[in-house]
């Protein structure tokens, strides 16, 4: 009795090596252009300069972890403003949803780094080992000098690209030209080499070895995407209303002459041959399909050759296929509630972020009440509270702030330590692009009636630029 124990079955199908064939057409061209643009930006952006004045780095995009600053062109983010990244991530998610609602897995097919780098690695593979048939034949043949040098060359170039990918990554975290010099002379920080090694490994293994398995097995987006999509989203679709039944050109002519229906699909399998994930689009929408449109290019090429109308595979919906079968006209609804809501949300979040950025202050004040003691009675009976005040200066030049306090009659403020004054107000000078902590004493005369706790407002005014920041705290009395 041959019983197959379910526990012994593998959890997923053994990987079948995919040999994508080269293809030409508008989608392929679009993918090349996007690839060049994305990789160009990624590799070259760290070298773009942006003048911020004498005290700040001049790199356009820089995550300065050592000094806790992030620079993006004219924007400088402090650690406590990390919520801007949250906003960016929310917008990114919404854009992903919108793209998905309009035309399915646009991200997967054209923009995802996994797709872009895999495309690049495939181009290298093709340059060394030839196109699909040649690669299959060589992999099946025994080892030879020719096979060895082609494989070695391919992996060497892959490693160089992977290494360069890691190299570009670390350039975003330090001054790029300096770091390049340090890397070349082996004087760069150890962490730089470690990160380059890590990214070399991930790029090489993800784009060179694992490829479509990342999309099919590792990536959560196909699952989320399947839950988010609807019947009106355009997808790369095999129009089976037109394609089935699959017969050769000659047989189709014969069948049609006899009045028997025949499909336009001649079962040439070109759509499968060019597919980077090795799926058959004619099986319908599936988790393995990244919707890159290369099967559209392949099919259209064949259709043109045999003088059939193109568009057997195209961006369409399953509903439209069914409508055509039922004799109705296809319906394309780009503007619908789902796309409108996503677009509106993007506008709202984006608008809120732009508003925040435009109105954000370049100074800041925070106040911490001293707890031991909460208050002090002075010899003349007046009551004093002390506070730790932190002043932030986000500008690249030194700024003097005058401190005032309001909310109680006769209240006055003084600071501890070396200081200047302006109109009897204590002045605290904060160095460029930094913060300063200072201890302040706030005193209320004896004759003022005080509750146990009353609100107090601290104000710091930039003596030159006039910017004013405020903080609320409390004044505690016996």
Partner 1 sequence: MDGHHDRDNFDSVTGHSTTGHEWDGIRELNTPLPRWWLGVFYATIIWSVGYWVVYPAWPLLTDATRGVIGYATRLSIEQDLATLRDFRAAQSKGLAEASLVQIKADPDLFRVAMAQGKAAFGDNCAACHGVGGAGAKGFPNLNDDDWLWGGSLDTIRTTIQHGIRFAGDADTRVSQMPAFGRDKMLTPGQINDVANHVRAIAGLPTQPRADLAAGGKLFAENCAACHGEAGKGNREMGAPNLTDAITLYGMDVASLTETITNSRNGVMPAWGGRLDPTTVKALTIYVHSLGGGE
List residues near partner 1 by CB under 8 A. Answer: 370-373, 376-381, 384, 386, 416-418, 439, 441, 446
Q: What is the DSSP string of 406-468?
A: ESSTT-EEEESSS-EEETTEEEEEE-TTEEEEEEEEEEE-TTS---SEEEEEEEEEETTT--E
Report, in Å, the least distance between residue 241 CB and partner 1: 53
Residue of 412, 408, 413 whose CA lies nearest to 450: 408
Nearer residue to partner 1 within complex by CB, 10 or 417: 417
Nearer residue to partner 1 within complex by CB, 9 or 326: 9
Report, in Å, the least distance between residue 292 CB and partner 1: 40
Nearer residue to partner 1 within complex by CB, 1 or 307: 1
Nearer residue to partner 1 within complex by CB, 26 or 373: 373
Here the tokens at position 223 are 């699952």
- Would you say 281 and 271 are in contact if contact means Cβ atoms under 8 Å apart? yes
Nearer residue to partner 1 within complex by CB, 281 or 456: 456
Phi, psi angles (nearest 5°) of residue 135? -65, -45
Separation CA 162–CA 375 (nearest Å): 62
Q: Report CA-CA distances (Å) from 381 to 376, 384, 463, 477.
A: 9, 10, 34, 12
Nearer residue to partner 1 within complex by CB, 229 or 429: 429
DSSP H or E segment with residue 4: none
Place of tokens 């160095």: 431
Question: Pairing mode, if any, of strands 412-415 and 468-476?
Answer: unpaired
Report, in Å, the least distance between residue 456 CB and partner 1: 17
Report, in Å, the least distance between residue 427 CB and partner 1: 13
Residue of 455, 446, 368 whose CA lies nearest to 407: 455
Report, in Å, the least distance between residue 68 CB and partner 1: 20
Of how many residues is the chain composed? 478
Report, in Å, the least distance between residue 381 CB and partner 1: 4
Three-class SS of residue 25? coil
Q: How many CB atoms lie within 10 A of CB 470?
A: 13
Q: Which residues contact 112 (CB under 8 A, 6 or more apart)?
A: 290
Report, in Å, the least distance between residue 415 CB and partner 1: 10
Nearer residue to partner 1 within complex by CB, 226 or 446: 446
Nearer residue to partner 1 within complex by CB, 321 or 444: 444
Nearer residue to partner 1 within complex by CB, 359 or 379: 379
Here the tokens at position 256 are 């049609």
DSSP H or E segment with residue 133: helix 132-140
Report, in Å, the least distance between residue 445 CB and partner 1: 12
Report, in Å, the least distance between residue 439 CB and partner 1: 7
Q: Which residues contact 373 (CB under 8 A, 6 or more apart)?
A: none
């Amino acid at each position: 009795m041959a019983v197959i124990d379910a526990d012994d079955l593998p959890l997923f199908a053994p990987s079948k090596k995919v040999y994508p064939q080269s293809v030409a057409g508008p989608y392929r061209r679009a993918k090349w252009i996007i690839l060049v643009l994305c990789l160009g930006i990624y590799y070259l952006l760290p070298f773009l300069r942006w003048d911020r004045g004498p005290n700040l780095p001049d790199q356009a995009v820089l995550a300065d972890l050592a000094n806790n600053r992030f620079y993006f062109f004219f924007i400088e983010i402090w650690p406590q403003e990390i919520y801007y990244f949250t906003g960016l991530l929310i917008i990114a998610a919404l854009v992903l949803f919108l793209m998905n609602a309009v035309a399915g897995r646009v991200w997967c097919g054209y923009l995802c780094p996994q797709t872009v780098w895999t495309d690049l690695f495939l181009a290298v593979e093709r340059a060394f080992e030839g196109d699909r048939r040649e690669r299959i034949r060589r992999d099946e043949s025994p080892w030879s000098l020719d096979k060895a040098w082609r494989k070695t060359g391919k992996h060497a170039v892959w490693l160089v690209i992977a290494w360069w990918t890691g190299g570009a990554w670390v350039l975003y975290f330090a001054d790029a030209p300096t770091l390049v010099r340090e890397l070349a002379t082996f004087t760069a920080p150890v962490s730089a080499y470690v990160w380059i090694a890590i990214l070399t490994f991930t790029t090489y293994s993800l784009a060179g070895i694992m490829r479509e398995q990342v999309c099919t097995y590792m990536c959560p987006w196909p699952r989320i995407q399947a839950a988010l999509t609807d019947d009106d989203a355009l997808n790369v679709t095999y129009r089976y209303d037109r394609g089935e039944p699959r017969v050769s050109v000659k047989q189709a002519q014969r069948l049609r002459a006899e009045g028997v229906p025949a499909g336009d699909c001649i079962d040439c399998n070109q759509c499968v041959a060019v597919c980077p994930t090795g799926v058959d689009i004619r099986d319908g929408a599936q988790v393995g399909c990244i919707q890159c449109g290369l099967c559209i290019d392949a099919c259209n090429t064949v259709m043109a050759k045999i003088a059939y109308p193109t568009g057997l595979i195209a961006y369409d919906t399953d509903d439209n296929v069914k409508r055509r079968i039922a004799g109705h006209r296809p319906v394309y609804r780009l503007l619908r509630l789902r796309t409108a809501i996503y677009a509106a949300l993007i506008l709202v979040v984006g608008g809120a972020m732009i508003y925040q950025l435009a109105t954000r202050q370049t100074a800041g004040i925070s106040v911490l009440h001293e707890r031991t003691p909460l208050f002090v009675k002075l010899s003349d009976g007046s009551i004093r509270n002390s506070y730790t005040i932190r002043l932030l200066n986000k500008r690249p030049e030194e700024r003097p702030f005058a401190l005032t306090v309001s909310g109680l009659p006769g209240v006055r403020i003084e600071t501890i330590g070396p200081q200047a004054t302006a109109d009897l107000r204590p002045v605290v000078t904060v160095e460029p692009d930094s913060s300063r902590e200072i201890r302040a004493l706030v005193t209320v005369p004896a004759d003022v009636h005080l509750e146990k706790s009353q609100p107090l407002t601290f104000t710091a005014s930039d003596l030159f630029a006039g910017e004013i920041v405020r903080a609320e705290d409390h004044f505690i009395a016996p």
